[in-house]
């Protein structure tokens, strides 16, 4: 568009943003499969899937531009999966009944990101974009009420830099790492968004967190992150735990194996509770059900926090089908297993390999063990229809904003939203904003506002380095993560949240007194990077708990134990809580000011989600 752009990322190359890890796919209402899909249907599914806590207008626009995204990516050279006719292939994904998901094997995010990266590098080559990798944004500078630049730290030299701009776009991803363990990359952080919040941008629905049901369980205290196993596994895998407590205990003690448990003694709890959707219920429902069984003592690994994802039945079923196709009469059990294993391997081979590599156990022979893990944050900076925050000139895109997914995100729709924001929304809205600024000359970074922001950052770094504390940063991060997971995770209640707030304050206080950060400010210093991020998580965590405490209902990923139906399902309170909670920073993490944006539904009728 002819703007001069400076782009920043903390990795050593823009090609490594965490979008690269997205596996399953991206939705678009193309209706190539002619199975009744439409813009309206995608819109409707997204609003319903979000448990009626998203803005209708935004979601409708998202559904409208979804088809353009696919065309754009194809034009960039993204190698989507194709069928033998050479046309784009689709699959059904994430609890919807149409095939609208486009994919590139299990690496859709990688291919979409590399497409965007190549377009970016083209602009870098032309000199239109200046790329600052290994740079971390540490503050937004606001001048006369408008965002006018940022302060960033050069992570190689440690230099603190000022960059002036007429508008600032924050596209910094999600904050799932507030839980310490999540499926996010190690560097994912809330710092840029949080600093924007402290400079006046409201934070929307911080408590809405998505916990993904199929991740590899924690193996020990050394665990640094969790790995997602694609949701597509639930299409063929059956989830179960032993029906008898003594069997579960024997398994945990290593005295029995999953295969020792007779069919009649297995509890396929999703099929039992949700006969219509079975193992394919949405993520929030599947995750809570796993937690419920494990809390009741039926977990199947040493820590008691794992359930089985079993392909035994699928292997048998596929094996028999194959035998039929190959006209093998009366196939032996071994033959059926052999044929079925080949089919399962063809479909999910790379995932099975990944599992075996991490866990060291062959998932064709032994049922996989899985457990829910933090995956995505629906909350984020509050933005208007133009993706502008409450600070003029400060925009927010992608997972970092709160828009579109309400209280729960459906599979394959984060990539859709991020690319919609970046390719088809912001080019129009930012131009609109800049039109009024056309006569503003270059931004002078010597202004006192830049001076003050830089001084504040340098002071904070100085404090961290000269603190002479005794404990490494990760100690505090782990403690925070445990509080968040136990009390603001899959299930929450008022008492737990109040305790969590007190505990987080305590950890924060200890952090500033006792954290030890080695090394110097003017060098490549990964401990210092971590410390800055954890300091911000320690404030965000408190706001998440406050938001969860304020929302006296259950909706989507936010499950308050006090508000459930007699069958244990989430109970919304539309009369009192059909609003976006937009929190304003007032100088102290515990004293945020709540603003409510009412949600009105003109198109979609609010109903209780049911997957029975």
Partner 1 sequence: MGNMKLNLKIWRQTGPNAKGQMKDYPVNDVSPDMSFLEMLDVLNDNLVRKNEDPIAFDHDCREGICGMCSLFINGEAHGPARGITTCQLHMRRFKDGDTIHVEPWRAQPFPVIKDLATDRGAFDRIQAAGGFVSINTSGNLVDGNALPIPKDDADKAFDAATCIGCGACVATCPNGSAMLFVAAKVSQLSLLPQGRPEAKRRALAMVEQMDKEGFGNCSNTGACEIECPKQISLEHIARLNREYLVATVTKE
Ligand X SMILES: Cc1cc2nc3c(=O)[nH]c(=O)nc-3n(C[C@H](O)[C@H](O)[C@H](O)COP(=O)(O)OP(=O)(O)OC[C@H]3O[C@@H](n4cnc5c(N)ncnc54)[C@H](O)[C@@H]3O)c2cc1C
Nearest distance, CB of residue 179 and ligand X, angstroms: 13
Partner that binds at residue 171, options ligand X, partner 1, none, CB closer than 5 to 8 Å by kind: ligand X
Binding residue for ligand X, selected from 39, 111, 183, 205, defined by CB under 6 A: 183
Nearest distance, CB of residue 272 and partner 1, angstroms: 32
Binding residue for ligand X, selected from 98, 147, 192, 581, defined by CB under 6 A: 192
Nearest distance, CB of residue 243 and ligand X, angstroms: 32
> Are β-strands 579-584 and 380-381 bridged in parallel, bridged antiparallel, or unpaired?
unpaired
Q: Terminal CA-to-CA distance of the chain, rounded, Å?
A: 50
Partner that binds at residue 119, options partner 1, ligand X, none, CB closer than 5 to 8 Å by kind: partner 1
- x-or-dash pattern for ligand X, window 112-151, by CB under 6 A? ------------------------xx--------------
> Are β-strands 135-143 and 146-154 bridged in parallel, bridged antiparallel, or unpaired?
antiparallel
Tell whether residue 189 is a contact of ligand X (CB under 6 A): yes
Cβ atoms of residues 352 and 365 within 8 Å: no
Residue 252's CB is within 10 A of a number of other CB atoms, namely 18
By CB under 6 A, which span of 31-39, 284-292, 360-368, 393-401 interacts with ligand X?
A: 393-401
Number of residues that bind ligand X (CB under 6 A): 39
Binding residue for ligand X, selected from 285, 290, 367, 412, defined by CB under 6 A: 412
Which residues 488-517 are close enough to bind ligand X by CB under 6 A? none
Partner that binds at residue 72, options ligand X, partner 1, none, CB closer than 5 to 8 Å by kind: partner 1
Partner that binds at residue 518, options ligand X, partner 1, none, CB closer than 5 to 8 Å by kind: partner 1
Cβ atoms of residues 569 and 553 within 8 Å: no
By CB under 6 A, which span of 182-190, 275-283, 310-318, 353-361 interacts with ligand X?
A: 182-190
Catalytic residue numbers, as ranges: 283
With CB atoms as reference, the residue minimizing the distance to ligand X is 398
Which residues 204-243 are close enough to bind ligand X by CB under 6 A? 228
Partner that binds at residue 413, options partner 1, ligand X, none, CB closer than 5 to 8 Å by kind: ligand X
Structure tokens at 586: 């007032």
Tell whether residue 378 is a contact of ligand X (CB under 6 A): no
Residue 71's CB is within 10 A of a number of other CB atoms, namely 11
* Concatenated DSSP letters of 26-90: EE----TT-SS--HHHHHHHHHHHTTT-S-HHHHHHHHHHHHHHHHHHHHHT----B-TTSSBP-
Phi, psi (deg, nearest 5) at residue 179: -85, 10
Cα→Cα distances 80→25, 46, 76, 101, Å: 10, 23, 11, 11
Tell whether residue 99 is a contact of ligand X (CB under 6 A): no
Partner that binds at residue 301, options partner 1, ligand X, none, CB closer than 5 to 8 Å by kind: none
Binding residue for ligand X, selected from 19, 58, 90, 99, defined by CB under 6 A: 19
Tell whether residue 532 is a contact of ligand X (CB under 6 A): no
Tell whether residue 541 is a contact of ligand X (CB under 6 A): no
Nearest distance, CB of residue 517 and partner 1, angstroms: 8
Nearest distance, CB of residue 317 and partner 1, angstroms: 27
SS (H, E, C) 206-271: CCCEEEEEEECCCCCCCCCCCCECCHHHHHCCEEEEECCHHHHHHHHCCCCCHHHCCHHHEECHHH
* Concatenated DSSP letters of 255-321: SS-GGGS-GGGEE-HHHHH-TTTGGGS-HHHHHHHHHHHIIIII--STTS--EEEE-HHHHHHHHHH
SS (H, E, C) 158-196: CCEEEEECCCEEECCCCCHHHHCCCCCCCCCCCHHHHHH
By CB under 6 A, which span of 14-22, 69-77, 427-435, 577-585 interacts with ligand X?
A: 14-22
Tell whether residue 31 is a contact of ligand X (CB under 6 A): no
Cβ atoms of residues 608 and 573 within 8 Å: no
Residue with Cβ nearer partner 1 (299 or 469):
469
Partner that binds at residue 189, options partner 1, ligand X, none, CB closer than 5 to 8 Å by kind: ligand X
CA angle in degrees (0–180, nearest 5) for 164-402-429: 50
Cβ atoms of residues 384 and 430 within 8 Å: no
Residue with Cβ nearer partner 1 (86 or 448):
86
By CB under 6 A, which span of 5-13, 75-83, 246-254, 299-307 interacts with ligand X?
A: 5-13
Phi, psi (deg, nearest 5) at residue 348: -125, 15
Residue numbers of the site for ligand X (CB under 6 A)?
8-11, 17-19, 21-26, 108-109, 136-137, 171-174, 183-184, 188-189, 191-192, 228, 375-376, 398-400, 412-416, 418
């Amino acid at each position: 568009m002819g703007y001069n752009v400076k782009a920043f990322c903390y990795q050593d190359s823009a090609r490594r943003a965490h979008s690269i890890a997205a596996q399953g796919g991206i939705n678009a209402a193309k209706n190539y499969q002619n199975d009744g899909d439409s813009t309206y249907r995608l819109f409707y599914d997204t609003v319903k899937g979000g448990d009626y806590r998203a803005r209708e207008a935004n979601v409708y626009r998202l559904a409208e531009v979804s088809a353009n995204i696919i065309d754009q990516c194809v034009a960039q050279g993204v190698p989507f999966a194709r069928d033998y006719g050479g046309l784009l292939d689709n699959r059904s994904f994430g609890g919807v009944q149409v095939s609208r998901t486009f994919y590139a094997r299990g690496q859709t995010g990688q291919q979409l990101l590399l497409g965007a990266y190549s377009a970016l590098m083209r602009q870098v080559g032309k000199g239109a974009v200046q790329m600052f990798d290994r740079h971390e944004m540490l503050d937004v500078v606001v001048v006369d009420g408008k965002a006018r630049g940022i302060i960033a730290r050069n992570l190689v030299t440690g230099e603190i830099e000022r960059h002036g701009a007429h508008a600032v776009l924050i596209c910094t991803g999600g904050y799932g790492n507030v839980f310490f363990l999540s499926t996010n990359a190690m560097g994912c952080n809330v710092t840029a968004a949080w600093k924007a919040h402290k400079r006046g941008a409201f934070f929307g629905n911080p408590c809405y967190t998505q916990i993904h049901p199929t991740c590899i369980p924690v193996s020990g205290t050394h665990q640094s992150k969790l790995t997602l196993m694609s949701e597509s596994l639930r299409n063929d895998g059956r989830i179960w735990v032993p029906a008898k407590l003594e069997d579960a205990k024997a398994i945990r003690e290593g005295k029995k194996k999953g295969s020792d448990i007779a069919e009649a003694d297995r509890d396929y709890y999703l099929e039992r509770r949700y006969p219509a959707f079975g193992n394919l219920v949405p993520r929030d429902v599947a995750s809570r059900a796993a937690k419920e069984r494990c809390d009741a003592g039926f977990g199947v690994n040493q820590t008691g926090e794992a359930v089985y994802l079993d392909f035994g039945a699928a292997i048998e079923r596929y094996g028999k089908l194959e035998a039929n196709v190959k006209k093998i009469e009366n196939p032996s059990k071994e033959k059926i297993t052999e044929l079925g294993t080949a089919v399962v391997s063809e479909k999910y081979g790379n995932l099975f390999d990944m599992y075996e590599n991490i866990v060291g156990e062959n998932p064709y022979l032994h049922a996989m063990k899985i457990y829910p893990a933090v995956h995505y944050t629906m909350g984020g900076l509050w933005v208007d229809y133009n993706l502008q925050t409450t600070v003029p000139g400060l925009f927010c895109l992608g997972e970092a904003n709160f828009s579109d997914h309400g209280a729960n995100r459906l599979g394959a729709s984060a990539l859709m939203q991020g690319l919609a924001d970046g390719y088809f929304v912001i080019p129009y809205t930012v131009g609109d904003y800049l039109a009024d600024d056309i006569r503003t000359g270059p931004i002078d970074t010597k202004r006192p506002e830049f001076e003050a922001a830089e001084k504040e950052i340098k002071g904070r770094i100085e404090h961290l380095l000269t603190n002479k504390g005794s404990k490494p940063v990760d100690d505090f991060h782990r403690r925070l993560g445990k509080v968040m997971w136990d009390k603001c995770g899959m299930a929450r209640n008022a008492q737990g949240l109040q305790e969590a707030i007190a505990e987080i304050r305590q950890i924060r206080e200890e952090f500033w007194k006792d954290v030890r950060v080695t090394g110097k400010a003017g060098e490549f210093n990964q401990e210092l990077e971590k410390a800055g991020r954890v300091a911000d998580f320690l404030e965000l965590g408190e706001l998440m708990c406050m938001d969860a405490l304020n929302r006296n209902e259950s909706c989507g990923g936010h499950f308050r134990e006090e508000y459930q139906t007699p069958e244990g399902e989430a109970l919304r309170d539309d009369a009192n809580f059909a609003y976006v909670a937009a929190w304003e920073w007032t100088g102290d993490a515990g004293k945020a000011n709540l603003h409510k944006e009412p949600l009105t539904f003109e198109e979609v009728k609010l109903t209780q989600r049911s997957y029975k």
